[in-house]
Chain A
């Protein structure tokens, strides 16, 4: 936890706003938003469903253009999607027409910085890292949902992005598989030292994985609270941390915020109806 390791302004969001649609029907999804993410930080976005947290992440990924404001990555303004911003989705995350190994190789397909031999080595490395070597030649319809997410993670890491963006990547998995993948992601985070932005609505997952949790309000999204998890929990952690009283206190804090926010949304809707 050496502060000098972090460049505090690795990713910066300055007065970001986002409005979908135009005129009467337009919906403001993101309020003017300020956010700085440091290099190597594992940031988790949580918030009520439909609050715009995914939109904020997609804007960092260049998949969505902000209506106003400026986003930079490593000092450069973000203009569109690129290999620097890797993305892992919840569904359709790996290509069904490719085998597991070829999916991982796909992550290296458009890299010009390394040669073919090095590409092959990198592909094998990440395949091993996610523990899928025995399944290298399987098509993805033959492997489980959890394995498919591991394929997607390996493929994205193989592309060597500056930031890894994960949109509820474990949302569709059963509880046990999810736990296993969370632990694996913690280990990968430790060895790869990637900057990660992770969106979830699972509070336990958020506290377990995060260095920092950004709690968003209901739509339009603004930052309700920015919680420095790394200050309270060791960076090296496993599932046993969930028994820790500090873990429970953090979890409680986030849940409380979300409950209040959800209640506010329901009340607002009731007021509108009556």
Chain B
């Protein structure tokens, strides 16, 4: 019994140190604006998905929600497989990706030079900016009837809708990226003998490139949003079409499968562009 007191104090001491350790561990994990730990942060990111899926499994397998509202992840996977096997889902994905990229590429092809010109020449900016700004605020769904009247229900009307949705946003983003290039870079180019064209080609574009790639990445995401609108309203192919058809027949797992597909494509393309960004602009880090 006597010795027990000493042991207890010892234990208490032990307990107090471990709680102090725990506190410092907590402070390390939640360090305000702490340093980035790419390895850890990647696993934490993956963990978030695992967490959601496990939660999802629990809720559905325990029968806490009606499957009509929330099907189990396994049912969604089955639905996804069925889509690939019976509904030729791959060509749906293909056509959706093609629509997005066709619209996005043509939008970028025009938006990048126009944005640069708008920031480089006051007159071009004064002329184009108010118009672009006006169109930018038009909600894309409001333009659906117009694209249908003008271009019918074929591919061109869908691509046109996506194009309108991305182009006007992108122009302004690119113009801003160009405007943010430090004056010193431009003036240095000038005093080394560059003419307007060389200045844009050799200085401006090079200086704005990292920010511009970010702008492109962000607008590509928006492009996917508009794709769904286009495919839901008038289409007989694409991920959005499958998603909408599934809803009509109350096939919730298929709806989830469609959402999942878009999410995965979005995530993958975003990560690919980020990785390319890191590689191409290694001089920034």
Contact = CB atoms under 8 A, between A and B. Distances in A.
Interface of A: 61, 63, 80-83, 85-87, 89, 91-93, 95-97, 106-107, 109-111, 139-141, 152, 155-156, 159, 161, 165
Given A97-B206, A109-B198, 11 more contacts: A81-B187, A87-B187, A87-B188, A89-B184, A91-B184, A92-B188, A97-B283, A111-B193, A139-B282, A159-B192, A165-B191
B188 A93 contact: yes
A155 B191 CA distance: 11
Contacts, number: 72
Given A91-B184, A96-B284, A97-B283, A109 B202 contact: yes
A110 B193 contact: yes
Given A92-B185, A93-B184, A61 B207 contact: no
B182 interface: yes
- Grouping DSSP codes into helix (H, G, I), strand (E, B) and loop, the A interface class, with mixed when no group exceeds half, is loop
Contacts of A161: 191
A95 B185 contact: yes
B191 A139 contact: no
Contacts of A96: 283-284
A194 to B, nearest CB: 14
B192 A141 contact: no
Interface string B176-206: 0000001011011011111100100011001
A95 B187 contact: no
A109 B283 contact: no
A23 B207 CA distance: 36
Interface residues of B, number: 22
Contact of A89 (B187, B192, B195, B282): B187
B191 A110 contact: no
A95 B192 contact: no
Interface of B: 182, 184-185, 187-188, 190-195, 198, 202-203, 206-207, 209, 281-285
A109 B192 contact: yes
A141 B285 CA distance: 8
8 contacts: A81-B190, A87-B188, A97-B209, A109-B198, A110-B198, A111-B193, A140-B283, A165-B191
Contact of A95 (B191, B206, B282): B206
Contacts of A87: 187-188, 191
Nearest to B184: A92
A95 B182 contact: no
A89 B190 CA distance: 13
B213 to A, nearest CB: 13
Contacts of A93: 184, 188
Given A96-B284, A97-B283, A106 B184 contact: no
A63 B190 contact: yes
Contacts of B188: 87, 89, 92-93, 95, 152
A141 B284 contact: yes
Contacts of A110: 192-195, 198
